[in-house]
Structure 1
Amino acid sequence: MSLQEASEARKARLLALRKRKMGQSVEGAEGTPEPLVGGRNYDPISKTLKKRTPGEEIEDTVEKNVKGLAQMIIAEDEEKRQQELDIFNIAPKRPNWDLKRDMDKKLAKLERRTQEAVHTLIRQRLAAQKGQSDDLVGAMKAQEQQNAADSDEEED
């Protein structure tokens, strides 16, 4: 068989396959169209229809596969309900872990401001103890001087 003949035979098979997929009838060897037979009553090995008697049972059905499945699921569900519910397995060990996670970002900003306020109060008390001023006005002036010194340091 030459390459040309093999190519023509392959094209014919592909065309027949394409027609079969599209649902068209395919011509046989004699030139007469072969009937398209399919479905669950068709036996592809013998290419004939399967004969069934009305009283005959089908071996493999969905109903037979799931028979008893509903009762088994209900029985398992009842067993689970009978077991005592353990609340410790449901609740998280730390109930506020998600709140702490969300608040960490906000608390970081506040921590810095808190430290600055604590340093300011300490400076005011030290200034008052050194005798610069016994009253609140003197402490405020010391704070202003400290703020000015801090701003000078930041500019450098």
Structure 2
Amino acid sequence: MAAESDPIEERKARLQALRLAAELSAPPENDADDGDLEAAAEDGEPEVVIKFRNYVPRDEQLQQLKIVPPQPPKFDDPLAKAPEDANDTEDTLVSIAPKKANWDLRREVAKKLEKLERRTQRAIIELMQEEEKRRQAAAGGGEDDME
């Protein structure tokens, strides 16, 4: 077990030496940023610039910092220009869409419809005959009065 731990310890030592060498050779980035901040604070230059995008300040001095909202470009709606095309697309959608499967319903109802059609025709004939009888009675009654 002691033999196995020796290569591990050697590797750890090598990695630590590489880290130290990398830290010494590379300039620290955080220290440079801190130096810039300190220099800016000493010069009296403001670091943060306030921008009012969604807030309307009441103070006149802050009104100058207000940002004018950008105007979006005008959008020309192609559908508004050609409303006739919209009707054509609806027609194509209707023609493409599958039709209801009602052929079986038609087959089941066909006998009942034939029966109703026959009854309707009989009723129409009876009404016509009654109307003809009334006309003949009215015409016959009118002739009787003339004699």
TM-score of the pair, normalised by structure 1: 0.26
TM-score of the pair, normalised by structure 2: 0.28
If asked which structure has higher relative contact order (CA below 8 Å, sep 6+), I would say 2
Give the structure with the larger helix fraction: 2
Decide which structure has the larger Cα Rg and report it: 2
Give the structure with the larger strand fraction: 1
